[in-house]
Amino acid sequence: MANPGLQDVLYGSHRNGNGRVHHAVRGLRLADTPSASSSDRENASDGGPAGKRILILDDNRIFRECLVRTLALNGIPNPAVAWDLASLASALGDIEVSVLLLSMSTHDSHLLLRATMDIDPSVRVIALGVSPDDEPGIIACAEAGVAGFHMRSDSLDDLVVLTRKVEAGEMFCPPAVAAILLQRLLSLSSQPPVVVQDLALTAREVQILEMLELGRSNRDIAAHLDIAVHTVKNHVHSLLSKLGVTTRAQAAALSRSHRIDRGPRWS
């Protein structure tokens, strides 16, 4: 059983300080990266039983080690681990993964989710530590094909049960998530069709729209593009007006579901 307060530790915004990895390097083995602990290397890709395995993805070492032990104690032995894009690509290339446990507090978690689907669409993903207040993030997860949602208020015991269900082919959507997705469907059905083929977005708006698809905040976008937060806000406002929507989540969903003329791209 988890100790009191452990959920706060597990789902906190802990970072490993290694910076961003923008490209997956399939040839890089987990043991070669400086953030890998000895226990990570043991669980990375080798020495497991025959068949598919669980993969834990989080950039917090304490979280990874806690989940490895919890799953082992509950009859799910030898899960693999990853902590960034490079280690994720390496793990997916080295082993057969049945379920990915992806902590949404991990840096660039939505980018890692999309990378997983690109590398191996058969992997079933459980989003860990989902906040019911994160509507754009929940919608992005659902649109990416997440098979299960583990909320911030759920226990480790709940996660074990959920992992077994998802591994067996089931889907799980808790009431808070279902309500958001249902509201999203109702909102889309009540809106008139939006003509987007003649849109011509600026190169900067294209960049920001792609980051909205990843669920990034204005502050994250500003840091990534090295521009002021208020400049990002102005671009987002312009995007919403051009797309004929009122929220960031709607803009991201529209971008994913339509072939938009996005104008010139940045080199």
For 10-34, the pLDDT digits (tens) are 444 443 444 333 333 333 333 333 3
**pTM of the predicted model, to two decimals?**
0.59
Distance CA 67, CA 188 (A): 38
Pick the CATH number of 203-257 from 1.10.10.10, 2.60.40.10, 1.25.40.10, 3.40.225.10: 1.10.10.10
What residues does each domain of the chain span?
6-182, 203-257
Give 97's DSSP letter: E
CB atoms within 10 A of CB 41: 16
Say what the pLDDT of residue 100 is: 97
Nearest to 215 by CA among 153, 126, 144: 144
| Residues 6 or more apart whose Cβ sits within 8 Å of residue 86 | 21, 24, 25, 28, 33
- Taking the C-alpha atoms of residue 143 and residue 9, their distance in angstroms, rounded to an integer, is 28
Q: Lay out the sheet containing 97-103: strands in order across.
A: 80-82, 53-57, 97-103, 124-130, 148-151
pLDDT tens-digit readout, 108-122: 998 899 899 889 989
Fold equal for 6-182 and 203-257: no
Quote the CA–CA distance of 144 and 261 in Å, as a whole number.
22
Provide block-wise average pLDDT over 10 residues at a time, the chain (267 residues). Answer: 42 40 32 43 42 91 91 89 94 94 93 90 94 90 92 92 94 91 78 54 85 85 90 89 82 68 42
Which overall architecture, per CATH, does domain 6-182 show?
Answer: 3-Layer(aba) Sandwich (3.40)
Q: Any idea how long the chain is? A: 267
d(CA 112, CA 107): 9
The whole-number pLDDT of residue 143 equals 86
